[in-house]
Chains A and B, each alone.
Chain A
C-alpha cells in the first residue's frame, strides 16, 4: 500500500532522509522510531508530496505521489503531531469541513457526532469553538477527521502527542482494529511501549537512515528498548 524506493531528501547537501526502502502492506502497522531529527517527519512529508524528493520514489497504492498528487492523497489520511483547526469554527464544523473536502460521502450531523464519541470527546464539546480546546482535544478531532475519511492508509506523525494515557490506550486499540480491517499504517512515534503494543513492525531510524526493521511479535519489550539504544549509539 505504501512503498518507498531509495527515497532521499537532502537539505543543502545534508541528507535528512537517506535511501529509504520501505513497504507497508494492508494490515501492517509500521512504527518509525528514532531520535529527534532522524527523518521521520521527512518521510511522512514525502508520502504526502508536501516536499519534493531529492531522489527515489514514494508510492501509494502503486502510484507515484509526485506524479499523481491528488489521486494518491485520496487513499491517505494524515494526523500531524500538532493538529491545527480553524479556531472560529466549532469542533463539529471543523470535522464537517474536512470530511466534506475529503471527497467521502456526506455524513449527517449525528454520524459526525458519533465520530466525536468514538475518539473520546465528551458530548457538548463538539459545539464549542475550537479556540477553547486543549491540545489533546484538538488531537482527538484530528483522529476523528482521519477516521471519517475511511482511508486505506494512515500517515501518523506522533499522533498521540498530548493525549492522556487512557486516550493513548484507546488509540492503540483503534489502530489494532483498523489494522484488522486491512488499513496500512505508517506511524512516527517516540513511544517504544505503544510501538510494541500496536505495531506489527518497527523500524529504527538514525540520521536519515533506516537502520533496522523488527517484527514486534518476535521480540519482547525489553529487547526492543535495548536494540533501539544500541542503534542510537553510533
Chain B
C-alpha cells in the first residue's frame, strides 16, 4: 500500500512540468558547484604539494649560513585539503590554509581570526554545501507543501480517505514520494561528486575519506528528512495549501537566512572577539613589557643573563663555555611564545565559545547543526583549523629551538656559520589531521540536535496525519 502511494506520488511529480524544470535547475546548480569545488580543491592540492616540496628544498638547500638567518628565512606549512573540502570549503576561504613559519612571531599565520571572524560566517559563494543546506530544503518544500493540503483542495482527499487507509501509511507513502523525487536530483549529483572526487584525487585518499563522506551523506539525509517531515506536517495541518507554503517558506527563511545571522550577532555580543587592531597592539605591548605590562623585555633579559652567569659561576658572557647569543635568542623566543599562547589561546577560546552558542542555537534552526557537522566532516571547521595551526606552531617552536641550540653549542666569538647539513637534520613538517572520531566528538551536540529535529518533525507529521480530515 505504501509502495502504491509512493509510486503514484512520484509519477505525478515526474509528469509535472514545474517539478521537472525545478529539479533540473537544482541538479545543474549542484553539479556545477561540485565540479567547481572539485577543480578548486585539486588546484589547491597540487599547488600545495609543489609549494611544500619547494619550501622544503629551499630550507634544506640554504647552504652555509648563520642558523639565526635561517630562522628568519623561515619556511611554509600547508594544511592538507581533504577532498571533501570541495563540497564544503567551510572557513578555509576566510582563514587560509597555509602558514609562514619564522622566528620571533606567531602572527605571521595566514590564520588571522580576529580579522576574519565576521567573514567566517558569511556564505557568499556557490558551494555544494550551500546548495545542500539552502536550495534542497527549498525544493523539498516546493514538492511537499501541497501533498495533503492540495489534495484537500482538489477534492481527491475525500475519495482517498473514504477508502479506509491508515493515515500513517498515507503519510509514509507521501514522505517516500517526496524523498524519491528528491533522490532523482541527489543521486546523479552524488554519483557525479564521487566520480569527480575519484578522478581528482589519488585513490588512496578517497578511500581514506570514505567514512567522512558516508557520515556527511548521513548528516544531510537527516537534515532533508526534517524538511520532508515538516512539509508533511504543515501540509496536513494547514487550512489551505497557500498557507502551508507561506508557513514553510517562513520557516525556511528563519532557518536559512535569519537565524544564522542573528546567532552570529548574539554569539559575538556574548563573547566579543577583539578587533584586529586591539589584538596586534595587545601583542606588541606584551612583547615589549610582558603580559603584566610591567616587565620590560630588556630588564627580563638582563635578569636572565645574571641567572645564567650565576649558574655557570662566571662574571661575563665571554667566559661562558657556550654561546650566550643562542641562549638569548631562545629566551626571547620563549618570552614571545608566552605572549602568543596567551593571546591566541584566548582568541581561540573566544571562538570556541562563539561556536558553542552556534551549536546550541541549532535548537531553533537545524541548518546550524548540519552546517557545523558538514564543515567538521570536510575538515574545514574552526576546530580543525586550530588543530592545524597549533601543530604548525609546535613545529615552528621545535625548529627555531634547534637553530638556537646549535648557535648556543657551536658559535664562538665572531661570525658563526653552520654547516649545510644542519638544515636537513630538521625533520619535515608532517601534519596528521584529526580522526573522524575526534571530529564527531567535537560535534556531538550538532549530531544530537539533528536527530532531535528529525524526531520532533516526524512526531508532528504523524500527529497531523492522524488528525487529517478531508473537509
Contact = CB atoms under 8 A, between A and B. Distances in A.
B261 interface: no
Nearest to B169: A101
Contact of A50 (B11, B165, B469): B469
Interface residues of B, number: 23
Contacts of A89: 8, 11-12, 15
A121 to B, nearest CB: 17
A48 B12 contact: no
B470 interface: yes
B164 A85 contact: no
B61 interface: no
A80 interface: yes
Contacts of A118: none
A70 interface: yes
Contacts, number: 74
A88 B9 CA distance: 10
A66 to B, nearest CB: 12
B162 A48 contact: yes
A13 interface: no
B364 interface: no
Contacts of A98: 159-160, 163
B470 A93 contact: no
B469 A51 contact: yes
A145 B159 contact: yes
A66 B159 CA distance: 18
Contacts of A77: 162
A97 B158 contact: no
Contacts of B15: 88-89
Nearest to B153: A84
B156 interface: yes
B4 A76 contact: no
A101 B165 contact: yes
A86 B12 contact: yes
A78 interface: yes
Contacts of A86: 8, 12, 156
B164 A70 contact: yes
Given A70-B164, A73-B164, A83-B159, A93 B4 contact: no
A82 B469 contact: no
Given A88-B16, A93-B11, A100-B4, A50 B161 contact: yes
B5 interface: yes
Interface string B1-24: 100110010011001100000000
Contacts of A76: 162, 164
A106 B4 CA distance: 12
B345 interface: no
A160 to B, nearest CB: 17
- Residue from B1, B11, B164 having most chain A Cβ neighbours under 10 A: B164
- Residue from B4, B8, B159 having most chain A Cβ neighbours under 10 A: B159
Interface in A112-155: 142, 145, 149, 155
A155 B163 CA distance: 12
Contacts of B11: 88-89, 93
Contacts of A142: 159
Given A100-B1, A101-B4, A72 B158 contact: no
A33 B36 CA distance: 70
B435 interface: no
- Kindly state the interface size class of chain A when it binds its partner: 20 to 34
Nearest to A155: B162
B434 interface: no
A103 interface: yes
Nearest to B1: A101
A102 interface: yes
Interface string A18-60: 0000000000000000000000000001001011000000000
A73 B162 contact: yes
Contacts of B12: 86, 88-89
B310 to A, nearest CB: 93
Interface string B145-167: 00000000011101111111110
- Residue from B8, B162, B164, B469 having most chain A Cβ neighbours under 10 A: B162
A78 B159 contact: yes
Nearest to A76: B162
A87 B423 CA distance: 77
Interface string B107-136: 000000000000000000000000000000
Contacts of B159: 78, 80, 83-85, 98, 142, 145
Given A80-B158, A102-B163, A145-B159, A97 B8 contact: yes
Contacts of A83: 159
Contacts of B154: 84
B471 interface: yes
A72 B4 CA distance: 22
A137 B166 CA distance: 29
Contacts of A45: 471
Given A51-B471, A80-B155, A88-B12, A74 B164 contact: yes
A71 interface: yes
Nearest to B14: A88
- Residue from A50, A73, A88, A101 having most chain B Cβ neighbours under 10 A: A101
A101 B160 contact: yes
A221 B166 CA distance: 44
A76 B166 CA distance: 15
7 contacts: A45-B471, A48-B162, A84-B156, A88-B12, A101-B1, A103-B1, A103-B163
